[in-house]
Protein backbone atom coordinates (compact mmCIF):
# COMPACT_ATOMS: atom_id res chain seq x y z
CA UNK A 1 0.00 0.00 0.00
CA UNK A 2 1.32 3.38 -0.88
CA UNK A 3 1.48 5.70 2.07
CA UNK A 4 0.77 8.64 -0.19
CA UNK A 5 -2.68 7.31 -1.04
CA UNK A 6 -3.65 6.95 2.59
CA UNK A 7 -6.06 4.10 1.89
CA UNK A 8 -5.91 0.53 3.02
CA UNK A 9 -5.38 -2.04 0.31
CA UNK A 10 -5.98 -5.07 2.46
CA UNK A 11 -7.44 -3.56 5.62
CA UNK A 12 -4.21 -4.16 7.46
CA UNK A 13 -4.10 -3.57 11.19
CA UNK A 14 -0.34 -3.84 11.30
CA UNK A 15 2.50 -2.07 9.49
CA UNK A 16 2.33 -3.50 6.00
CA UNK A 17 4.27 -2.57 2.91
CA UNK A 18 3.02 -3.57 -0.51
CA UNK A 19 5.23 -5.82 -2.61
CA UNK A 20 4.96 -3.20 -5.35
CA UNK A 21 7.36 -1.03 -3.34
CA UNK A 22 9.72 -3.79 -2.24
CA UNK A 23 12.14 -6.00 -4.15
CA UNK A 24 10.85 -9.21 -2.61
CA UNK A 25 12.76 -12.41 -3.34
CA UNK A 26 11.99 -15.76 -1.71
CA UNK A 27 14.89 -16.83 0.45
CA UNK A 28 13.55 -20.21 1.56
CA UNK A 29 12.48 -23.32 -0.33
CA UNK A 30 8.79 -23.24 -1.29
CA UNK A 31 8.39 -19.72 0.10
CA UNK A 32 5.32 -18.07 -1.44
CA UNK A 33 6.04 -14.90 -3.37
CA UNK A 34 2.48 -13.85 -4.20
CA UNK A 35 1.20 -11.35 -1.63
CA UNK A 36 -2.41 -12.42 -2.26
CA UNK A 37 -1.64 -16.08 -1.56
CA UNK A 38 0.18 -15.14 1.64
CA UNK A 39 -2.79 -13.03 2.70
CA UNK A 40 -5.14 -15.94 2.02
CA UNK A 41 -2.95 -18.26 4.09
CA UNK A 42 -3.06 -15.73 6.92
CA UNK A 43 -6.85 -15.37 6.75
CA UNK A 44 -7.24 -19.15 6.72
CA UNK A 45 -5.04 -19.74 9.76
CA UNK A 46 -6.23 -16.71 11.71
CA UNK A 47 -9.88 -17.65 11.20
CA UNK A 48 -9.15 -21.26 12.05
CA UNK A 49 -7.57 -20.29 15.37
CA UNK A 50 -10.46 -17.93 16.15
CA UNK A 51 -13.08 -20.63 15.55
CA UNK A 52 -11.11 -23.31 17.37
CA UNK A 53 -11.08 -21.24 20.55
CA UNK A 54 -14.72 -20.21 20.21
CA UNK A 55 -16.30 -23.50 19.18
CA UNK A 56 -13.97 -25.37 21.51
CA UNK A 57 -15.30 -23.37 24.44
CA UNK A 58 -18.90 -24.01 23.39
CA UNK A 59 -18.17 -27.72 23.03
CA UNK A 60 -16.65 -27.93 26.50
CA UNK A 61 -19.62 -26.13 28.10
CA UNK A 62 -22.28 -28.10 26.20
CA UNK A 63 -20.68 -31.53 26.41
CA UNK A 64 -19.67 -30.95 30.03
CA UNK A 65 -23.35 -30.22 30.75
CA UNK A 66 -22.52 -27.11 32.72
CA UNK A 67 -19.77 -28.62 34.86
CA UNK A 68 -16.88 -27.31 32.74
CA UNK A 69 -17.83 -23.67 32.35
CA UNK A 70 -20.71 -21.39 31.47
CA UNK A 71 -21.65 -18.52 29.16
CA UNK A 72 -18.88 -16.30 30.52
CA UNK A 73 -16.31 -18.87 29.43
CA UNK A 74 -17.79 -18.84 25.94
CA UNK A 75 -17.74 -15.07 25.50
CA UNK A 76 -14.22 -14.76 26.90
CA UNK A 77 -12.92 -17.53 24.65
CA UNK A 78 -14.42 -15.88 21.57
CA UNK A 79 -12.61 -12.71 22.56
CA UNK A 80 -9.35 -14.58 23.10
CA UNK A 81 -9.81 -16.27 19.74
CA UNK A 82 -10.08 -12.85 18.11
CA UNK A 83 -7.00 -11.67 20.02
CA UNK A 84 -4.78 -14.54 18.91
CA UNK A 85 -6.26 -14.62 15.40
CA UNK A 86 -5.28 -10.97 14.92
CA UNK A 87 -1.75 -11.61 16.17
CA UNK A 88 -1.40 -14.58 13.82
CA UNK A 89 -2.57 -12.86 10.64
CA UNK A 90 -2.62 -9.12 11.29
CA UNK A 91 0.80 -8.31 9.87
CA UNK A 92 0.11 -10.23 6.65
CA UNK A 93 -3.54 -9.80 5.72
CA UNK A 94 -4.90 -7.32 8.23
CA UNK A 95 -6.66 -10.06 10.20
CA UNK A 96 -10.17 -9.57 8.87
CA UNK A 97 -11.19 -13.10 9.96
CA UNK A 98 -14.74 -12.15 9.03
CA UNK A 99 -16.47 -11.60 5.65
CA UNK A 100 -18.40 -8.70 7.19
CA UNK A 101 -15.12 -6.93 7.96
CA UNK A 102 -13.77 -7.66 4.49
CA UNK A 103 -16.85 -6.42 2.62
CA UNK A 104 -17.21 -3.35 4.83
CA UNK A 105 -13.62 -2.29 4.21
CA UNK A 106 -14.19 -2.77 0.49
CA UNK A 107 -17.38 -0.70 0.63
CA UNK A 108 -15.41 2.19 2.11
CA UNK A 109 -12.55 1.95 -0.35
CA UNK A 110 -10.12 0.49 2.17
CA UNK A 111 -9.65 -2.75 0.32
CA UNK A 112 -9.74 -3.74 -3.35
CA UNK A 113 -12.93 -5.56 -4.35
CA UNK A 114 -11.01 -8.08 -6.46
CA UNK A 115 -9.46 -9.48 -3.26
CA UNK A 116 -12.77 -9.90 -1.45
CA UNK A 117 -13.74 -13.36 -2.84
CA UNK A 118 -10.31 -14.79 -2.01
CA UNK A 119 -10.43 -13.49 1.55
CA UNK A 120 -13.95 -14.81 2.13
CA UNK A 121 -13.17 -18.26 0.72
CA UNK A 122 -10.07 -18.45 2.93
CA UNK A 123 -12.11 -17.47 5.99
CA UNK A 124 -14.79 -20.07 5.23
CA UNK A 125 -12.20 -22.80 4.74
CA UNK A 126 -10.48 -21.84 7.99
CA UNK A 127 -13.77 -21.99 9.88
CA UNK A 128 -14.64 -25.36 8.32
CA UNK A 129 -11.22 -26.77 9.25
CA UNK A 130 -11.57 -25.48 12.82
CA UNK A 131 -14.94 -27.19 13.22
CA UNK A 132 -13.38 -30.43 12.01
CA UNK A 133 -10.60 -30.17 14.62
CA UNK A 134 -13.04 -29.40 17.45
CA UNK A 135 -15.24 -32.32 16.40
CA UNK A 136 -12.22 -34.64 16.27
CA UNK A 137 -11.03 -33.61 19.73
CA UNK A 138 -14.46 -34.05 21.33
CA UNK A 139 -15.72 -36.92 19.17
CA UNK A 140 -16.04 -39.45 22.05
CA UNK A 141 -18.21 -37.06 24.04
CA UNK A 142 -20.34 -36.15 21.04
CA UNK A 143 -20.94 -39.88 20.60
CA UNK A 144 -21.97 -40.25 24.25
CA UNK A 145 -24.05 -37.09 24.71
CA UNK A 146 -25.73 -36.98 21.30
CA UNK A 147 -25.26 -40.21 19.33
CA UNK A 148 -28.16 -39.34 17.00
CA UNK A 149 -26.76 -35.86 16.31
CA UNK A 150 -29.99 -34.07 17.12
CA UNK A 151 -29.08 -31.64 19.90
CA UNK A 152 -25.44 -30.58 19.61
CA UNK A 153 -25.43 -28.68 16.33
CA UNK A 154 -25.32 -25.43 18.31
CA UNK A 155 -21.77 -26.29 19.36
CA UNK A 156 -20.68 -25.29 15.87
CA UNK A 157 -23.26 -22.85 14.48
CA UNK A 158 -25.68 -20.32 15.94
CA UNK A 159 -29.43 -20.78 16.40
CA UNK A 160 -32.21 -18.79 18.11
CA UNK A 161 -32.12 -19.04 21.89
CA UNK A 162 -35.69 -20.32 21.98
CA UNK A 163 -38.81 -20.65 19.86
CA UNK A 164 -40.16 -17.55 21.62
CA UNK A 165 -37.63 -15.35 19.82
CA UNK A 166 -38.76 -14.47 16.26
CA UNK A 167 -36.33 -14.92 13.39
CA UNK A 168 -36.58 -11.21 12.60
CA UNK A 169 -35.49 -10.36 16.14
CA UNK A 170 -32.43 -12.57 15.67
CA UNK A 171 -31.71 -10.85 12.37
CA UNK A 172 -31.98 -7.44 14.03
CA UNK A 173 -29.67 -8.61 16.81
CA UNK A 174 -27.05 -9.67 14.26
CA UNK A 175 -27.34 -6.34 12.45
CA UNK A 176 -26.93 -4.37 15.69
CA UNK A 177 -24.04 -6.50 16.94
CA UNK A 178 -22.19 -6.29 13.64
CA UNK A 179 -22.79 -2.55 13.41
CA UNK A 180 -21.25 -2.14 16.86
CA UNK A 181 -18.30 -4.31 15.84
CA UNK A 182 -17.46 -2.37 12.68
CA UNK A 183 -18.16 1.03 14.19
CA UNK A 184 -15.77 0.25 17.03
CA UNK A 185 -13.14 -1.16 14.66
CA UNK A 186 -13.21 2.07 12.64
CA UNK A 187 -12.93 4.09 15.84
CA UNK A 188 -10.07 1.98 17.18
CA UNK A 189 -8.09 2.66 14.00
CA UNK A 190 -8.97 6.35 13.59
CA UNK A 191 -5.74 8.33 14.19
CA UNK A 192 -7.57 11.63 14.57
CA UNK A 193 -9.80 10.35 17.36
CA UNK A 194 -8.64 8.23 20.33
CA UNK A 195 -7.07 5.25 18.56
CA UNK A 196 -5.58 2.18 20.13
CA UNK A 197 -1.83 1.81 19.70
CA UNK A 198 -0.53 -0.79 17.24
CA UNK A 199 0.24 -3.09 20.16
CA UNK A 200 -3.06 -2.75 22.01
CA UNK A 201 -5.34 -2.93 18.98
CA UNK A 202 -5.83 -6.73 19.09
CA UNK A 203 -6.86 -6.42 22.74
CA UNK A 204 -9.28 -3.60 21.94
CA UNK A 205 -11.00 -5.53 19.15
CA UNK A 206 -11.17 -8.66 21.31
CA UNK A 207 -12.84 -6.70 24.10
CA UNK A 208 -15.41 -5.36 21.64
CA UNK A 209 -16.34 -8.94 20.73
CA UNK A 210 -16.57 -9.95 24.39
CA UNK A 211 -18.78 -6.93 25.13
CA UNK A 212 -21.10 -7.71 22.22
CA UNK A 213 -21.42 -11.30 23.43
CA UNK A 214 -22.22 -10.23 26.97
CA UNK A 215 -24.70 -7.53 25.91
CA UNK A 216 -26.37 -8.96 22.80
CA UNK A 217 -25.55 -12.65 22.76
CA UNK A 218 -28.79 -14.21 23.97
CA UNK A 219 -31.15 -13.92 21.01
CA UNK A 220 -28.99 -15.24 18.19
CA UNK A 221 -25.73 -16.42 19.74
CA UNK A 222 -23.85 -13.34 18.41
CA UNK A 223 -22.41 -14.83 15.25
CA UNK A 224 -21.49 -11.33 13.91
CA UNK A 225 -19.36 -13.23 11.40
CA UNK A 226 -20.75 -15.18 8.40
CA UNK A 227 -17.66 -17.41 8.22
CA UNK A 228 -17.86 -18.24 11.93
CA UNK A 229 -21.36 -19.61 11.36
CA UNK A 230 -21.53 -20.93 7.80
CA UNK A 231 -18.20 -22.79 7.76
CA UNK A 232 -18.95 -24.88 10.89
CA UNK A 233 -22.61 -25.24 9.85
CA UNK A 234 -21.50 -26.72 6.55
CA UNK A 235 -19.22 -29.07 8.46
CA UNK A 236 -22.11 -30.30 10.63
CA UNK A 237 -24.07 -31.02 7.47
CA UNK A 238 -21.18 -33.10 6.13
CA UNK A 239 -20.49 -34.81 9.48
CA UNK A 240 -23.94 -36.30 9.96
CA UNK A 241 -26.14 -33.64 11.52
CA UNK A 242 -28.05 -33.59 8.24
CA UNK A 243 -30.00 -31.01 6.28
CA UNK A 244 -31.81 -29.83 9.41
CA UNK A 245 -28.89 -27.51 10.14
CA UNK A 246 -30.05 -25.50 7.11
CA UNK A 247 -33.82 -25.99 7.27
CA UNK A 248 -34.36 -25.42 11.02
CA UNK A 249 -36.69 -22.50 11.86
CA UNK A 250 -37.59 -21.66 8.26
CA UNK A 251 -34.02 -21.93 6.99
CA UNK A 252 -32.58 -19.78 9.76
CA UNK A 253 -29.04 -20.16 8.39
CA UNK A 254 -29.37 -16.98 6.30
CA UNK A 255 -29.66 -14.79 9.41
CA UNK A 256 -26.01 -15.02 10.60
CA UNK A 257 -24.88 -14.50 7.01
CA UNK A 258 -26.84 -11.47 5.87
CA UNK A 259 -27.27 -9.83 9.29
CA UNK A 260 -23.52 -9.16 9.69
CA UNK A 261 -23.09 -8.27 6.01
CA UNK A 262 -25.75 -5.59 6.42
CA UNK A 263 -24.82 -4.45 9.91
CA UNK A 264 -21.11 -3.98 9.21
CA UNK A 265 -21.48 -1.19 6.61
CA UNK A 266 -24.24 0.41 8.68
CA UNK A 267 -22.03 0.67 11.76
CA UNK A 268 -19.01 1.86 9.80
CA UNK A 269 -21.16 4.35 7.90
CA UNK A 270 -22.58 5.81 11.10
CA UNK A 271 -19.08 6.29 12.52
CA UNK A 272 -17.70 7.80 9.33
CA UNK A 273 -20.75 10.02 8.83
CA UNK A 274 -20.93 11.37 12.37
CA UNK A 275 -17.26 11.35 13.43
CA UNK A 276 -14.54 10.61 10.90
CA UNK A 277 -15.90 12.74 8.05
CA UNK A 278 -15.82 15.84 10.24
CA UNK A 279 -12.18 15.66 11.36
CA UNK A 280 -10.19 18.71 10.37
CA UNK A 281 -7.45 17.82 7.86
CA UNK A 282 -3.94 17.85 9.31
CA UNK A 283 -0.63 18.03 7.45
CA UNK A 284 2.19 16.34 9.34
CA UNK A 285 5.90 17.01 8.87
CA UNK A 286 7.76 14.32 6.99
CA UNK A 287 9.79 13.58 10.12
CA UNK A 288 6.57 12.57 11.88
CA UNK A 289 5.35 10.57 8.91
CA UNK A 290 8.54 8.53 8.92
CA UNK A 291 7.91 7.09 12.38
CA UNK A 292 6.71 3.51 12.62
CA UNK A 293 3.79 4.57 14.79
CA UNK A 294 2.48 7.03 12.23
CA UNK A 295 3.04 4.71 9.25
CA UNK A 296 0.78 2.25 11.03
CA UNK A 297 -2.02 4.76 11.42
CA UNK A 298 -1.57 6.22 7.95
CA UNK A 299 -2.79 2.91 6.54
CA UNK A 300 -6.08 3.27 8.39
CA UNK A 301 -6.89 6.92 7.64
CA UNK A 302 -6.93 9.02 4.49
CA UNK A 303 -4.43 11.57 5.81
CA UNK A 304 -1.92 12.74 3.24
CA UNK A 305 1.62 13.85 3.98
CA UNK A 306 2.73 16.92 2.08
CA UNK A 307 6.15 15.89 0.83
CA UNK A 308 6.39 19.04 -1.28
CA UNK A 309 6.43 21.19 1.86
CA UNK A 310 8.74 18.81 3.70
CA UNK A 311 11.15 17.40 1.06
CA UNK A 312 13.54 14.60 1.83
CA UNK A 313 16.85 15.84 3.21
**Tens digits of residue pLDDT in 213-262:** 999 999 999 999 999 999 999 999 999 999 999 999 989 999 999 999 99
What are 83-100's pLDDT values in tens digits?
Answer: 999 999 999 999 999 999
Tell me the C-alpha distance between 6 and 110, whole Å: 9
User: In terms of Cα–Cα distance, which of 276, 283, 277 is closest to 303?
Assistant: 283
Q: Which residues contact 55 (CB under 8 A, 6 or more apart)?
A: 130, 131, 134, 155, 156, 232
The answer to whether residue 288 scores a pLDDT higher than 60 is: no
pLDDT tens digits for range 21-39: 456 565 788 888 899 999 9
Res 194 pLDDT > 80:
yes
* Average of per-residue pLDDT across 158-164: 94
> How is the chain split into domains, by residue range?
36-298
pLDDT number for residue 86? 97
pLDDT over 50 at 294, yes or no: no
What pLDDT sits at residue 18? Answer: 43
Average pLDDT of the chain is: 86
Region of residue 99 (phi > 0: left; psi between -120 and 50: alpha; otherwise: beta):
alpha
pLDDT reading at 305 higher than 50: no
Do 202 and 90 meet the contact criterion of CB atoms below 8 Å apart?
A: yes
Alpha-helical runs (H) found in 22-94: 35-63, 71-93
CB atoms within 10 A of CB 296: 21
Angstrom distance (rounded) from CA 46 to CA 12: 13
Class level of CATH domain 36-298: mainly alpha
DSSP state of 197: P
Average pLDDT on 267-295 reads 74
Binned at pLDDT 50, 70 and 90, residue 301 comes out as: very low
Amino acid sequence: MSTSSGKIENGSVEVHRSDSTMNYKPLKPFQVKSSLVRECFAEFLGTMVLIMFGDGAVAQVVLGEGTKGDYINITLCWGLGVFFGIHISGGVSGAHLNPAVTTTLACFGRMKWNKVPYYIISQLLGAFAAAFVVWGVYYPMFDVIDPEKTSTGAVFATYPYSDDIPVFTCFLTEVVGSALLMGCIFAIGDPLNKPASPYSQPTAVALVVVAIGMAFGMNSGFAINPARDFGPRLFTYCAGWGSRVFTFRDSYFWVPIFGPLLGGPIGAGIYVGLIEHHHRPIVFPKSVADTVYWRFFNQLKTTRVCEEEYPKQ
